[in-house]
Amino acid sequence: MEEFILGTVSGKMEEFLKEKYQAEQIEPVDYLLYNTRQQVLNLFYPEDMEKITEESRFSPEAGEEESLRFDEMVETFDRETAKSEYTQYRFSRETAGGAKAIFYITVEKNTGFVMTQYEWDEEAEQPEEISDEDYNSLNLIMRDILLTPYSWVENLEQYPAAWERYQTTKCFWDEFCGCDGKLR
């Protein structure tokens, strides 16, 4: 049952991003793909990631050799075992105060996992100071992208893993953005 939900979510995400945010699909940016891969595998394959960490002798203090071995093992697992399929989108937004941000959205199609991020547009002139309201408006976009897919699933609470992810995500973004708790 869970696979049905995740397939539905990832299937609609491209249409949602293109229609609502005029996002364009792009070739994945390496460091964003790396971050998303780590999140996907730690969330959906925690035991396997623990095994890879032990076998590669990776730790925060690991040397270059252990780090490279860990990265190779993770990439191999992701490609051959998890068979992950990543798609990345980009769009830009300007806040009311004139700050210009570029959003990157990475979607893993098999799990429906969505990773959002924005960066300041380095090619654009930015205001001297960026207000809390401007930051909040950008964070509300990320909240919208992360929560909207859950609204596409009927009776979400019948799917424990998806329901728990929704509740955790919603609680975090509602508090972070000071929202009223309504799914938008």
Residue 183 in any domain: the answer is no
Confidence of residue 28 (pLDDT cuts 50, 70, 90): very high
What is the rounded distance in angstroms from the CA atom of residue 66 to the CA atom of residue 80? 21
| pLDDT for position 184 | 38
| pLDDT for position 10 | 63
| Residue-averaged pLDDT of the chain | 88
pLDDT digits 0-9 by tens, 102-124 = 999 999 988 888 999 999 999 98
Residue 27 vs residue 182, higher pLDDT: 27
**Is the dihedral angle over the CA atoms 42, 44, 50, 52 positive or is it negative?**
negative
Question: Nearest-CA neighbor of 89 among 21, 148, 146?
Answer: 21
| pLDDT for position 147 | 87
Residue 8 vs residue 89, higher pLDDT: 89
Confidence of residue 180 (pLDDT cuts 50, 70, 90): low
**Is the dihedral angle over the CA atoms 110, 168, 154, 157 positive or is it negative?**
positive
| pLDDT for position 17 | 94
Residue 167 in any domain: the answer is yes
pLDDT digits 0-9 by tens, 141-175 = 999 999 888 888 788 888 887 888 888 888 888 88
Residue 182 in any domain: the answer is no
| pLDDT for position 8 | 62
| pLDDT for position 23 | 96
Residue 159 in any domain: the answer is yes
What is the rounded distance in angstroms from the CA atom of residue 36 to the CA atom of residue 41? 9
| pLDDT for position 92 | 96
The structural domain count of the chain equals 1
Residue 92 in any domain: the answer is yes
Confidence of residue 6 (pLDDT cuts 50, 70, 90): low
Average pLDDT over residues 87-96: 95
Which range of residues forms the domain containing residue 70? 2-177
**Is the dihedral angle over the CA atoms 28, 31, 36, 41 positive or is it negative?**
positive
| pLDDT for position 60 | 87
pLDDT at 183 exceeding the cut of 50: no
Residue 184 in any domain: the answer is no
Residue 72 in any domain: the answer is yes
Percent of the chain topping pLDDT 90? 57
| pLDDT for position 1 | 44
